[in-house]
């Protein structure tokens, strides 16, 4: 799928799924703006594949506006975007959770989606077409347990927001979809795992996922690139699971 001439923006583009998407879109000929909060990391990714690096905290309204202004100056158009920056915290049972930890996750995952999507959609409305993909998660439909309360709530909200946007922007030729990864081998996946637990947990996950392995960032990037492309021209309001069959599986033993 040749994407020459297309322009895309990717948040969380400095790592994991976002980085894989930036690299994949570039390899298909698109111009890409990679946005992340860590300057040296996102500049490293962008320099390596010829993308534009944008440094912003997605929860910061002015920073996101300024980043898109830089994108406008460089490319002057936007065909699609992946709203993907996110954080996960093991928050504990809800009755023990602090408001600070709740707010931190909601600020990045949900407010960040709003602010990034708002800028992207404004440009797609101007262009009269476009495709927005938002990274949700399998937890939007099936809870894993372990006290990721705000994280799960933020992902459910993202999937609901995607449906709202699909209905509102469909008549303008703009498609909005969610991609819902299962356990995917990125830094976020292992952030809160003690080093000596990584391999044992990897083995447990491999045993639980029907496809017998964790997802790779590229697995998700391929689904995103498809949703962003004209090949998905009649797909909007969908949540595309990229989870190796995880959410198709019942936990009942018989």
The size of the interface with ligand NAP (CB under 6 A), counted in residues, is 28
21 belongs to the binding site for ligand NAP (CB under 6 A): no
Among 137, 148, 149, 177, the residue binding ligand NAP under the rule CB under 6 A is 137
Among 3, 9, 16, 117, the residue binding ligand NAP under the rule CB under 6 A is 16
Residue 38 Cβ vs ligand NAP, minimum distance, rounded to whole Å:
5
244 belongs to the binding site for ligand NAP (CB under 6 A): no
Catalytic one among 8, 151, 169, 234? 151
The interface with ligand NAP within residues 139-198 (CB under 6 A) comprises 181, 183-184, 186-189
User: How far is Cα 120 from Cα 78, in angstroms, rounded to an integer?
Assistant: 7
117 belongs to the binding site for ligand NAP (CB under 6 A): no
53 belongs to the binding site for ligand NAP (CB under 6 A): no
Among 23, 31, 36, 239, the residue binding ligand NAP under the rule CB under 6 A is 36
Among 51, 108, 162, 240, the residue binding ligand NAP under the rule CB under 6 A is 108
* Catalytic status, residue 151: yes
Q: Where in the sequence numbering do the catalytic residues fall? A: 151
Chain positions contacting ligand NAP, by CB under 6 A: 12, 14-18, 36-38, 57-59, 84-88, 108, 112, 135, 137, 181, 183-184, 186-189
């Amino acid at each position: 799928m040749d994407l020459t001439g297309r322009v895309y923006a990717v948040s969380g583009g400095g790592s994991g799924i976002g980085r894989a998407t930036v690299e994949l879109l570039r390899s298909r000929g698109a111009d890409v703006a990679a946005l992340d909060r860590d300057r040296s990391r996102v500049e490293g990714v962008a320099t390596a594949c010829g993308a534009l690096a944008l440094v912003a905290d997605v929860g910061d309204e002015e920073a996101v506006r300024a980043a898109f202004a830089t994108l406008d100056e460089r490319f002057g158009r936007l065909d699609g975007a992946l709203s993907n920056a996110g954080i996960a915290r093991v928050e504990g049972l809800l009755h023990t959770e602090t408001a600070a930890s709740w707010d931190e996750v909601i600020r990045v995952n949900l407010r960040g989606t709003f602010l990034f999507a708002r800028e992207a959609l404004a440009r797609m409305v101007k262009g009269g077409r476009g495709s927005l993909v938002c990274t949700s998660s399998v937890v939007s439909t099936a809870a894993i347990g372990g006290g990721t309360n705000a994280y799960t709530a933020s992902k459910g909200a993202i999937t609901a927001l995607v449906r709202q946007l699909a209905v509102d922007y469909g008549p303008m030729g703009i498609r909005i979809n969610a991609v819902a990864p299962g356990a995917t081998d990125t830094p976020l996946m292992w952030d809160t795992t003690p080093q000596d637990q990584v391999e044992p947990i990897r083995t447990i996950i491999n045993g639980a996922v029907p496809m017998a392995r964790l997802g790779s960032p590229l697995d998700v990037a391929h689904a995103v690139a498809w949703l962003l492309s004209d090949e998905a021209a009649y797909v909007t309001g969908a949540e595309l699971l990229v989870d190796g069959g995880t959410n198709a599986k019942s936990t009942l033993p018989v």
